[in-house]
Chain A
Amino acid sequence: MTRAKGDIELAGVCKTYDGEVMAVEGVNLKIPDGAYCCLLGPSGCGKTTILRMIAGHEDPTDGEIVIGGDNVVGLPPVARRTAMMFQSYALFPHLTVRDNIAFALRVRGQSKAERYAAVDRLMDKVRLTELADRLPAQLSGGQQQRVALARAAITEPRVLLLDEPLSALDEQLRIQMRQELRRMQRELGITFVHVTHTQLEAIALADIVVVMEKGKIRQAGPARDVYAYPKDRYVAEFLGGQNVLAGRVESVNGSSIVVASPQLRGIEVPLRKGVAASAGGDVEFAVRRDEVELVRPGVTTLSPSVASVNSRVTAVEYQGSFVKVMLDAVPGQEFVAYVPERKFFDDPLAIGDLVLATWPSQSARLLD
C-alpha cells in the first residue's frame, strides 16, 4: 500500500468571523510531505485559525486548502486524514489511557478485542503500556502529551496538527518533550504542523518556520533563514537575537550603502537583492547580537571593515554560556550584545562604562 501524501497547500486562504476583521488574510503556503512546520506568531495572529482550518474545525471564508492533491475544504477531519492534538490535550477524563487511544477505533465500530489489540501495539511502541489503565488525571503533563499523541496517531493520519502542544508543560519538560515530538515525527514520517508563540521552540523543531502577523505570513522558510536572515523588522524583532537600527542613506556605492542617523555615523551596510535603497531614503538594518563585539574606546584602532557605535552599558545579565550586555546606543530602543562568557570576564564591563559596539560591516543585514 502506498502511503497517502501529506503535503499541504494553502492558496489565498482567508477567514473572517464577523465579515469585517480578517483573522487570516490571503495566506499562501506550501508544506512538503513529511515536513515539520511551525506556525509562529503572537496570540491573535491567526496561526491557530490556520491550523483549525487545515484540521477541518473551521471553514475558510475564501481560498483553497489542498492536502495530498485533494481540496479538503468542507470535509470532516476524518475524511481529510488529519488528526489534531489540542492545546490542553483534551483527553477524555472518564476514560483510561487505553480507552482514550481506542476512541477513534471505537466510533468506527471496531470490536473491543480488535481495537484493544491495535491500541496495545501502539502503546507498546510509544512506551505507554504501563499507563494503560490510568485515568488522565493520574498522569503527569508529559505523559498526558504522549497519550494525546498516541490518540491522534492511532488513525494513521497523513497530517498531524498540534496546537501549542508544549505550552502546558514546565520549562525543563518542554525541552524534553520537544525532542520527543521531533522523534515521533521522524518515526511516523508524516507532516506535522505545530502552532507556537515561542521562537526558540519553533527554530529548534521546524524544517519550515512560518512567521505570522495579523493574519498574514511575514516570512516562511528554514529555521536558519528566518533567524539569521530576517526579511523585515517584525521578523527580526520577533525572533530576537537581532538589533534593529534605522537611519538615512548617505550614499550608495556599488554593493553597499552608508547609513547615518543622530547616533550612527557612516555605518556601512551591504546591499541586498530586492531591497531598494537610494541616497536620502530611510532604511532599517539588523545586526546579530552575537556579532556585536564591545571594545573600550581608544584601546585599539578599528579596521575599516568594522562598523561601530558609541554607547554606554546600561545593564548586564549573566546567562551562563554568554553575558547579555545592554547598551544605550539608540535612545529608547534596545541594543544588546551577547558576549561569550570567557571573553566578558577577561575584562568585565560595569554599568556606566563607555564602550564601542562594533560589528563586521558585511554582517549587517538590510531589512525590507
Chain B
Amino acid sequence: MTASATLPIRARTAVKVRRAGARPWTFYALLALFVFYVLALYGPMICIYVLSFQDVRGGLVFPMKGRSLHWFVDLFTQVRTGDVKGAFGRSIKLAALVTVLTVVFSFLAGWAFRRRFPGDTILFYLMIGSLVAPGLVLGIGVGLLCNFLGIESSLFGSALGAQLSWTLPFGVLVMFAVMSRFDGAWEEAARDLGASPLQTIRLVVLPILLPGIVAVALFGFTLSYDEFARTLQTSGPLNTLPLEIWSMTLNVTSPSLYALGTTTTIVSFLTIGLCLGAIVAIQRRRGGRAAGE
C-alpha cells in the first residue's frame, strides 16, 4: 500500500526536476531584448572603429576598403583635417584642471553637507539646477555674461567655468554617495585619541574616502574631456577636441574623422582603466598589507 502511494509522488518530482532545468520562454524574450540593447548601444561605435582602419581608398560608409593605419597617420600629419594635436593637448590640460577643481570643491561640499545648516536644501537645488539646464543654453549664457562683463572668452576662463557648472554637480552627487558610507564615529575616535582636526582629515578621512575621490576625479575628467554643448559658445578662439571633431564633421569627408573617434575613445578607456586600476591598487595594497603576515 505504502509503495503504491509513494510512487506517484516520486514520478511527479522527477517531472519537476526535468522542467526546472529548462528555461521559461520569458528568459529567451528578455535575452533577445538584451542582445538588441547591446547591439544598439555598441553597434554604432563599433562601426566607427572598424571603418577607421581602412586604407587610402577608404570612404565614409561600408563596405570596408582594405586595412591599414593610414587615416591615423593622416590625422596627425595633414593640416587640412584641422589642429587635432593642439586641440587634444588643450582638452587634456583643461580636463586636468577641471578634475582638480571638481575633486577639491566636491569634497568640501560633501563635507559641508554632512550636517544640516540653514538654507542647505535651497543650496542643494541651486547646485543641481545646472544639471538640468540645457547645456547649449547655459553655454550661450556664460558667453553672453562674459561679453557683458567685458571678459574675453577663453578656454581657461569662460570655458572652464561652463564646464565646472556641469562637472561640479556630478562630483558633489557622487561625493554624497561616498560620504554616506563614512561613519562619523571614525572622526570622533580620531579626536578621542588626540588627533587635531587636520590630522583627522589627513590620517583618517582622506585615506578612507580615497577610492571615492578617485571616482569623482574620473567623473570630472571624462565629463570635461567629452564636453561639447557648454564649451561651444565659451571656448574663445581655440578649440577643444570635441569642438574640433564637430568642425571636422562639417568639412572633413575622410575616415580620418573615424580615426579621431577611435583615438579619443582609447584615451577615455585608458583614463577609466587607470582610475579603476588605482582603486583596485589601493584596495589590494590594504588587503596585501593585511595578508602579508
Q: Do A and B come from one complex?
A: yes
CB atoms of B194 and A90 under 8 A apart? no
Given A93, A103, A152, A155, which contacts B208 in the complex, CB threshold below 8 Å? A93
Which of A6-14, A62-70, A132-140, A219-227 lies at the binding interface? A132-140
Contacts of B188 in A (CB 8 A): 57, 84, 86, 90
CB atoms of B189 and A90 under 8 A apart? yes
**Main DSSP-derived SS at the A contact region:** loop
B33 within 8 Å of A (CB atoms): no
CB atoms of A77 and B194 under 8 A apart? yes
With A92-B208, A133-B290 known as contacts, the answer to whether A84 contacts B192 (CB < 8 A) is yes
Task: Count how many chain B residues have C-beta atoms less than 8 Å from C-beta atoms of the other chain.
Answer: 24
CB atoms of A134 and B290 under 8 A apart? yes
Known: A84-B188, A90-B185, A104-B194. 11 other contacts (CB 8 A): A77-B192, A83-B192, A86-B188, A87-B185, A92-B208, A96-B290, A103-B195, A104-B193, A107-B194, A133-B290, A135-B290
The smallest beta-carbon distance between B42 and chain A, in angstroms, is 36
A residues at B contact (CB < 8 Å):
55-57, 76-78, 83-84, 86-88, 90-94, 96, 103-104, 106-108, 130, 132-135, 138, 151-152, 155
CA–CA, A194 and B180, complex, Å: 29
**Total A-B pairs in contact (CB under 8 Å)?**
75
Interface residues of B in 167-207 (CB under 8 A from A): 183, 185-186, 188-196, 199, 203-204, 207
B289 within 8 Å of A (CB atoms): yes
Given B192, B195, B293, which contacts A57 in the complex, CB threshold below 8 Å? B192
The smallest beta-carbon distance between B72 and chain A, in angstroms, is 43
Contacts of A92 in B (CB 8 A): 186, 189-190, 204, 208
B8 within 8 Å of A (CB atoms): no
CB atoms of B191 and A57 under 8 A apart? yes
Chain B residue with the shortest CB-CB distance to A157: B192
Interface residues of B in 88-122 (CB under 8 A from A): none
Given B196, B207, B289, which contacts A133 in the complex, CB threshold below 8 Å? B289
CA–CA, A85 and B64, complex, Å: 69
CB atoms of B289 and A78 under 8 A apart? no
Contacts of B292 in A (CB 8 A): 133
CB atoms of B183 and A88 under 8 A apart? yes
B residues at A contact (CB < 8 Å):
183, 185-186, 188-196, 199, 203-204, 207-208, 286-287, 289-293
CB atoms of A107 and B196 under 8 A apart? yes
**Main DSSP-derived SS at the B contact region:** helix
The smallest beta-carbon distance between A115 and chain B, in angstroms, is 12
Chain B residue with the shortest CB-CB distance to A78: B194
CB atoms of A90 and B290 under 8 A apart? no
CA–CA, A9 and B204, complex, Å: 33
Q: Which 10 A-B pairs have the closest CB atoms?
A: A90-B185, A104-B193, A78-B194, A90-B189, A107-B195, A135-B290, A94-B207, A77-B192, A86-B185, A84-B192
Chain B residue with the shortest CB-CB distance to A93: B208
**Residue of B194, B196, B207, B293 with most chain A CB atoms under a 10 A cut-off:** B194
Contacts of B287 in A (CB 8 A): 135
Contacts of B290 in A (CB 8 A): 96, 133-135, 138
Contacts of A78 in B (CB 8 A): 193-194
The smallest beta-carbon distance between B40 and chain A, in angstroms, is 40
- 5 A/B residue pairs, CB under 8 Å, sorted by A: A77-B193, A88-B185, A92-B189, A94-B286, A155-B193
CB atoms of A108 and B194 under 8 A apart? yes
Contacts of B199 in A (CB 8 A): 107
Contacts of A91 in B (CB 8 A): 189
Chain B residue with the shortest CB-CB distance to A134: B290
CA–CA, A106 and B195, complex, Å: 9
Given A77, A106, A135, A151, which contacts B286 in the complex, CB threshold below 8 Å? A135
CA–CA, A94 and B76, complex, Å: 45
Contacts of B196 in A (CB 8 A): 107
Contacts of A108 in B (CB 8 A): 194
Given A84, A93, A96, which contacts B289 in the complex, CB threshold below 8 Å? A96
Chain A residue with the shortest CB-CB distance to B285: A94
CA–CA, A94 and B183, complex, Å: 13
With A57-B192, A86-B189, A135-B287 known as contacts, the answer to whether A107 contacts B203 (CB < 8 A) is yes
Contacts of A106 in B (CB 8 A): 203
With A88-B185, A93-B208, A103-B203 known as contacts, the answer to whether A76 contacts B191 (CB < 8 A) is yes
CB atoms of A103 and B191 under 8 A apart? no
Chain B residue with the shortest CB-CB distance to A97: B290
CA–CA, A96 and B285, complex, Å: 11
CA–CA, A87 and B196, complex, Å: 22
Contacts of B195 in A (CB 8 A): 103, 107
